[in-house]
Amino acid sequence: MSGFESRLQMSKFLNYTLPNGVNLHIYPTDKFKTIVYSIFLHQNLKKDLAAKTALLPFVLERGSKKWPTTRELVITLEGLYGADIITEILKRGERQIVQFILEIVNPVYVQENGNLEKKGLEVLKEILTNPVVEGEGFKESYVNREKEILANLVKGLINDKVSYAVERCIQEMCREEDYGVYRLGRLEDIEHMDSKNLYSYYQDLLSTAPIDIFVLGKVDPEQTLALMEETFNFPKDKSFDMEPTLVYKEVKEPRYVEERLDVNQGKLTLGYRTNIMVKDEDYYPLLICNGILGAFPHSKLFQNVREKASLAYYASSRLERDKGIMLIASGIEMDNYEKALEIIQKQVESVKAGEISSDELESTRVGFINQVKVTEDSPYQIIGRYLGGIISGRQETQEEIIEQINRVKVEDVVRAAEKIQLDTIYFLRNKE
């Protein structure tokens, strides 16, 4: 086995730094018929910057200097065998991330005489570095239209009451922390933005933000490195530092927050501080704890709150792993608030007391291992897992994750559960 093959087998991702300081991660694999290029611009999550950051990809994907309209951009991508460019705004811990994705068919599967990868990357680079500009700002009509769309998305959150209740619980729970900022920002900030200050902000962000670029597909690492050095050679200053996410926080007294809207079904959401970071020894015990509690159909919340007691239309728990908080979400009848709250808290206490059957433990273990294995079927999930490792400081292969899951015992789960503290009770109910 060559040194390169050995290195590839151990890590899968090959890591480089481009001359301008951009981090490059290459994952050579013949498992997929496409090549995925994914760019992540990292920004610290701040309430006065969140809307600006969220608006950027909406405006940028409208076109570039070379292809100044959406129509021209779409025609160009269609000419590249249906290549696709997608943008997204992510929230990972207390950082906000702008993502740009280019997915193209691998040239080996089409009759392509030219350099398909180079052509596709030219489009991606144009969108990233050469937006449509008028005077000293972005094209004003583009900015105004995308401001409307972003504002509608922010206002539209309330239409999905399940997601709205969870988001509101997070906002109340983390009201004095950056994590309480919504990933798309605030309406009042959207209104005050204009094409000039948004363009100035983007120029500064592109120049100073930490950037990670991922390439995943059947590629030659050395050729890809050379191509990426040639393509993404834009000038960059020294990147600013990413602030650490606040995870450890003692709770003196749980807060109760009630909100009244025109709803037929109550939404009861409980926010817990786990005081456990991803890189801590107790992270995998916490993961299993959350699984036993409410991540699967066999979990305690589903079985005891929804099925046996019939107190909830849905009941589940989830971990915000990069923030170290756990959220229990349920839909209940208004009159069942006290009963539902009591039985939900009883499930948490039962895990802390070690009342965990072998079936619950093993079913949870199998459930998470299946989830880990499924990630290998999606280039986006493979990239997402590695990005999570960069953010958390705990980088692991699929095999290492499965080994950690298999190692967790009941006493480990109890130890992690004992650190969990109820922080906020949020109840969305009717106006009557």
Q: Which domain holds residue 383?
A: 255-429
What mean pLDDT do residues 48-70 have?
96
Q: Are residues 29 and 151 in the same domain?
A: yes
- Structural domains in the chain (count): 2
Where among 197, 231, 265 does a domain terminate?
A: 231
State yes or no: pLDDT of 175 exceeds 70.
yes
Taking the C-alpha atoms of residue 185 and residue 183, their distance in angstroms, rounded to an integer, is 6
State yes or no: pLDDT of 3 exceeds 70.
no
Taking the C-alpha atoms of residue 198 and residue 212, their distance in angstroms, rounded to an integer, is 22
State yes or no: pLDDT of 8 exceeds 60.
no
State yes or no: pLDDT of 4 exceeds 60.
no
Per-residue pLDDT at 239: 95
Per-residue pLDDT at 2: 37
> Which band of pLDDT confidence, cut at 50, 70 and 90, is reported for residue 250?
very high
Domain membership flag for residue 246? no
Where among 188, 215, 231 does a domain terminate?
A: 231
Domain membership flag for residue 239? no
> Which band of pLDDT confidence, cut at 50, 70 and 90, is reported for residue 9?
very low
> Which band of pLDDT confidence, cut at 50, 70 and 90, is reported for residue 12?
confident
State yes or no: pLDDT of 133 exceeds 60.
yes
Where among 231, 263, 287 does a domain terminate?
A: 231
Q: Are residues 73 and 185 in the same domain?
A: yes
Per-residue pLDDT at 203: 97
Domain membership flag for residue 241? no
* DSSP conformation letters of 104-151: EE-GGGS---S-HHHHHHHHHHHHHH-B-EETTEE-HHHHHHHHHHHH
Outline where 28-115 has alpha helix (H): 50-60, 70-78
Per-residue pLDDT at 293: 98
Least confident residue range of 30-39, 44-53, 108-117: 108-117
Per-residue pLDDT at 420: 98
What mean pLDDT do residues 73-94 have?
96
Q: Are residues 144 and 283 in the same domain?
A: no
Q: Are residues 284 and 157 in the same domain?
A: no
Domain membership flag for residue 19? yes
Domain membership flag for residue 236? no
Domain membership flag for residue 250? no
Taking the C-alpha atoms of residue 236 and residue 16, their distance in angstroms, rounded to an integer, is 16
CATH number, domain at 53?
Answer: 3.30.830.10
State yes or no: pLDDT of 56 exceeds 90.
yes
Q: Are residues 264 and 405 in the same domain?
A: yes
Q: Are residues 362 and 396 in the same domain?
A: yes
Q: Which residue has the tokens 């390169």?
A: 4
Domain membership flag for residue 243? no
Q: Are residues 167 and 314 in the same domain?
A: no
**Per-residue pLDDT reduced to its tens digit, 361-403:** 999 999 999 999 999 999 999 999 999 999 999 999 999 999 9
Distance of CA 289 to the CA centre of its chain: 21
Cα 333 to Cα 162, 184, 268, 314: the distances in Å are 14, 31, 10, 11
Q: Are residues 276 and 165 in the same domain?
A: no
State yes or no: pLDDT of 247 exceeds 60.
yes
Q: Are residues 267 and 156 in the same domain?
A: no
Partners of 17 in the β-ladder: 23
Tokens of 280: 């801590």
What does the DSSP 8-state code read for residue 64? B
Q: Are residues 46 and 175 in the same domain?
A: yes
Q: Are residues 259 and 351 in the same domain?
A: yes
> Which band of pLDDT confidence, cut at 50, 70 and 90, is reported for residue 1?
very low
Q: Which of 309, 389, 367 is nearest to 342 (CA)?
A: 309
Q: Are residues 222 and 300 in the same domain?
A: no
Domain membership flag for residue 329? yes
Residues of the chain above pLDDT 70, percent: 97
- Average per-residue pLDDT for the chain: 95
**Per-residue pLDDT reduced to its tens digit, 290-301:** 999 999 999 999
Per-residue pLDDT at 113: 62
